[in-house]
Amino acid sequence: MSANKNIFLCTLGVTWPVVMEAADYLSSWDEIHCLTGTGPKIEGNFEKLFSYFSKKDCIFGLWQLKNFDEIKSNEQIQFCNETIFRWYLYHLNKHGLPYACIAGGFKSMGAVLHKAASNFGSKGIFHILIRGVVEPKDEESYEQAKKEKRIFYVELGEEPGFEELRQLDPNIYSLDSFIQNIQNKERNIYHYLLNDSHKKTVYGKNVKRP
């Protein structure tokens, strides 16, 4: 597990410019990974994301939850929650503590990502606020919003997490068997589909707090 890489994890809905906004939180990143769903409204933005981040000097990973378009059942919500936790643990084991941006996707997705960051640990959790009623809808309007200084980062701080949770057996709570590599768009662009359910759950595991 490398602790030297700067990566951030975020959840994503239909408002794709939030990833551009999050990427400017630091001057440079080694890797950026987004967890999102399926459906035409979400997938219609993928080429914009791939095009934008293909020009950046970092790895960009887009991870889709299979059949996660609209909230239709509690089982679907639990699957999403469990996947976010496993996804966080997966990157933690590969790269060390990540940053976490909770600005994108369903509010519940951001909340679960925040919980994962608090439980496992994070270099920094942050949210994004846009001054004014019009949010950026593309790269051009985002650059304009930056010039107008309408982008604000809400820093929620580092999280030490719990060593007990970081030591969970990765073979039991693995994400590897659920990952389908759809395609590598460019040298630094990766696209995955998470396409299975989980029998053992890491979401909701508790530790004794001091």
pLDDT category of residue 207 using cuts at 50, 70 and 90: low
pLDDT given for residue 177 in this prediction: 66
pTM value surpassing 0.85: yes
In a domain, 160, yes or no: yes
In a domain, 21, yes or no: yes
- pLDDT above 90 for 8: yes
pLDDT in tens, 154-193: 999 999 999 888 888 777 887 776 787 776 666 799 999 9
Beta-strand (E) ranges in the chain? 7-11, 31-36, 59-65, 99-101, 122-130, 151-159, 179-183, 189-194
In a domain, 57, yes or no: yes
**Structural domain count of the chain:** 1
In a domain, 128, yes or no: yes
The CATH number that applies at residue 124 is 3.40.50.10770
Determine the straight-line distance between the first and last CA of the chain, rounded to whole angstroms.
26
- pLDDT above 80 for 55: yes
CA angle at residue 106 from 8 to 79, to 5 degrees? 85
In a domain, 88, yes or no: yes
Domain range for 91 is 7-194
Look-up of token digits 């590969």: 94
In a domain, 182, yes or no: yes
Beta-bridge partners for 191 = 62, 183
In a domain, 210, yes or no: no
In a domain, 77, yes or no: yes
Tokens of 91: 């990157």
